[in-house]
């Protein structure tokens, strides 16, 4: 099935042409930058409910958008309503399966331990992240739960995509609250 076929689940994205992710490093960088732009936009929606502005999306193996999410902990009083978890839930609903084999999670902030667990349990093979989280990150900075040898499913982590923009959004949010 081609990415452009109408029966591919999810929303078609303009850069999904034949292979996702793209084969060349230059093409991958362009796609990661574009996807992070979508995640950054999604993160701004969290500001309406005074949530930490984190945005995430899940892209399927055919390059289609399967799920989006932004933090909604304050909005719903739900400690598990992290952007990653919400995007993963939506992607699973779109596919009709909890197994997100071949999918890519794009997120503006390095996932925490809970989200890293959800990533491995959903079998997501790739995480593209913006800003690293030196206080609670669990994909390489404080812990590396997604690449731990004890975990049955390991994850490729691509960090620092549009890191400055992602970090600036978070810093601005917390500076306003001090």
- Candidate list 3, 74, 75, 84, residue with the active-site label: 84
Cis amide prior to 21 (ω within 30 degrees)? yes
Has 175 been annotated as catalytic? no
**Does residue 55 come out as left (phi exceeding 0), alpha (psi in the -120 to 50 range) or beta?**
beta
115 is in an annotated binding site: yes
- Answer yes or no: is 166 a known binding residue: no
Distance between CA atoms of residues 114 and 82, nearest Å: 9
C-alpha distances out from residue 57 to 6, 51, 151, 163, Å? 20, 17, 23, 16
Residues tagged in the binding site annotation for Zn(2+): 82, 112, 115
Q: Which residues are catalytic?
A: 84
Residues tagged in the binding site annotation: 82, 112, 115
């Amino acid at each position: 099935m081609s990415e452009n076929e109408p029966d591919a689940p999810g929303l078609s994205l303009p850069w999904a042409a034949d292979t996702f992710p793209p084969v060349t490093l230059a093409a991958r960088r362009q796609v990661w930058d574009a996807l992070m732009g979508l995640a950054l936009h999604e993160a701004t929606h969290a500001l309406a409910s005074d949530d930490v502005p984190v945005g995430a999306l899940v892209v399927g193996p055919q390059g289609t958008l399967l799920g989006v999410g932004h933090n909604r902990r304050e909005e719903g009083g739900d400690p598990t309503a992290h952007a990653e978890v919400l995007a993963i839930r939506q992607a699973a609903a779109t596919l009709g399966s909890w197994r997100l084999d071949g999918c890519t999670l794009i997120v503006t902030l390095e996932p925490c331990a809970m989200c890293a667990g959800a990533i491995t349990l959903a079998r997501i093979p790739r995480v593209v992240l913006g800003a690293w989280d030196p206080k609670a990150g669990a994909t390489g900075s404080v812990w590396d739960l997604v690449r731990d040898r004890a975990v049955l499913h390991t994850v490729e982590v691509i960090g620092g995509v549009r890191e400055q923009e992602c970090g600036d959004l978070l810093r601005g949010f917390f500076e306003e609250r001090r």
